[in-house]
Amino acid sequence: MIRLAEYPINAIAGTVATQLAKVIELEENFKKLLAPKLKLVGIDMPAKDLFRWGQEIARADLGKIPFYRWKEIEEHAIRPQLGLLIGAVEEELTNELTLLWTPWKADYLIQLENLMALIRNHCARLSQMTSDEVSSRLNPLLPEDIQKETLSRKAISVLANTDGVSCVLNGMREPSYVIDTMGVMDLEPFPISEKIYRAFL
């Protein structure tokens, strides 16, 4: 699936590789210093395997993960599991472990957040390359004023102005998608050439 959209790139220092190494080092520290002293209840995995996101991400082929898919991984896998595991650890902390856990957790959360932000940028760049390719085929066949619109508006406008199309179904999971789509209603109608569709065969 290709999501026809523009992908913002945020200014973040560092590289995925460098940040990944920091996260993995912290996970190894947890495994050596904290895990042997933890006795967890209700978690069906060894304590040494609780925090492995750096190692899991290192095995992933980030060059094949589009932005929307990475966002789903963050929101529905990494963040929920992270919260669950942190809660499980903190229920079992002794005074001695708290002294080790508190600074480790603070550092890990910062470094993992930075890693996810860098990966978001990486995936956004890849997805933007696909969007740019679609726009390069589409723009020469659109009116000049439509060419300046976002890719999603261009695509919806083409469909909405195609003869025989009375309704365009559009996924709008976030408020920003809704706002962007509403802008289509302000665009002037324009004739659709068969060349537009043939450009993507």
In a domain, 6, yes or no: no
Does residue 123 share a domain with residue 24? yes
Query: What does the alpha-carbon distance between residue 187 and residue 145 come to, in Å, rounded to a whole number?
Result: 9
Q: Which residues of 61-97 are buried (b: 16+ CB within 10 A; e: fewer)?
A: eeeebbbbebbebeeeebeeebeebbebbeebbeeeb
Does residue 68 share a domain with residue 96? yes
In a domain, 29, yes or no: yes
Q: What mean pLDDT do residues 90-99 have?
A: 89
Residues 63-89 pLDDT 10s = 889 998 999 999 999 999 999 999 989
Does residue 40 share a domain with residue 115? yes
Residues 125-184 pLDDT 10s = 999 998 999 999 999 999 999 999 888 999 999 999 999 988 888 877 778 788 888 888
* One-letter identity of residue 23: V
In a domain, 1, yes or no: no
In a domain, 111, yes or no: yes
Q: Supply the range of the domain harboring residue 109.
A: 16-131
> Do residues 168 and 156 make contact, with C-beta atoms less than 8 angstroms apart?
yes
pTM of the shown model? 0.81
In a domain, 160, yes or no: yes
- pLDDT at res. 1: 66
Last residue of a domain, one of 105, 131, 157: 131
Q: Could you tell me which residues come within 8 angstroms of residue 36 by beta carbon, excluding any fewer than 6 positions away? A: 47, 48
